[in-house]
């Protein structure tokens, strides 16, 4: 079942906090799964495999579609502009 955002279900904002992220499923090789889990276990860089996958997708889109990457400001850009 797809997780709803508070925009899709405003009444849910009153109760339980909903995630503002979409859920996707992907199949990877056992080797890649072990490598990703090792990165999470080894240090403080990533809290979860999901963090790594999200970053990898973002980097892929920036590399292959650089013109579209400027459509949505990054969190760092938002923080810089607000100061």
pLDDT tier for residue 31 given thresholds of 50, 70 and 90: very high
Is the pTM value of this prediction over 0.85?
Answer: no
Q: Helix, strand, coil: what percent of the chain each, to 5? A: 55, 0, 45
What are the pLDDT digits (tens) for 50-70? 999 999 999 999 999 988 766
pLDDT band at 1 (very low <50, low <70, confident <90, very high): very low
52 CB-contact burial (10 Å; exposed 0-12 / middle 13-18 / buried 19+) = middle
């Amino acid at each position: 079942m797809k997780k709803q955002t508070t925009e899709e279900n405003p009444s849910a904002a009153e109760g339980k906090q909903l995630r503002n992220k979409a859920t996707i499923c992907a199949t990877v090789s056992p080797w890649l799964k072990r490598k990703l889990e090792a990165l999470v276990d080894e240090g403080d860089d990533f809290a979860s495999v999901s963090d790594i996958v999200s970053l990898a997708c973002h980097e892929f889109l920036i590399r292959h579609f650089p013109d579209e990457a400027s459509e949505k400001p990054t969190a760092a850009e938002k923080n810089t502009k607000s100061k």
